[in-house]
Amino acid sequence: MPRYPVAAITDEFSPDLETAARAIASLGMTGAELRMVSGKNIIDLTDQEVDRATAILRAYGLAVVSIASPVFKCVLPDAPEVDTRFQQDVFAAQHTFADQPRLARRALEIAGRTGARIIRVFSFWRTVQPEACFDRIAEALTGLAELAEQAGIIIGIENEHACNIGTASEAARLLARVAHPNLQLIWDPANALVAGETPFPEGYAKLPASRIAHVHAKDCRVTGHTPEWVELGTGSIDWTGQIAALLRDGYRAWFSLETHWRGPTGDKLEASLICGRNLVRMVG
Residue 239 carries which side chain, given as an amino acid letter? W
Write the DSSP symbol of residue 60.
T
Question: In sequence order, what DSSP letters do the residues of 176-209 get, joined into one string?
Answer: HH---TTEEEEE-HHHHHHTT--IIIIIHHTS-G
The 10s digit of each residue's pLDDT in 234-263 is 999 999 999 999 999 999 999 999 999 999
- At 182 the pLDDT is 98
| 155 in Cβ contact with 182 (< 8 Å) | yes
Residue spans of alpha helices (H) in the chain:
17-26, 47-59, 100-114, 134-151, 168-177, 189-194, 204-205, 239-248, 268-283
- Specify whether the CB–CB gap between 13 and 24 falls below 8 A: yes
Q: For residue range 140-178, what is the model confidence (pLDDT) as tens digits?
A: 999 999 999 999 999 999 999 999 999 999 999 999 999
CA distance 258 to 62: 16
CA atoms lying within 13 Å on the CB side of residue 236? 17
Handedness of CA 241, 194, 20, 110 (dihedral sign): positive
What pLDDT does 3 receive? 78
Residue 124 one-letter amino acid: F
Domains of the chain listed by start with CATH number: 6-283 (3.20.20.150)
Output the pLDDT for position 88: 77
Q: Residues of the chain whose pLDDT is less than 50?
A: 1
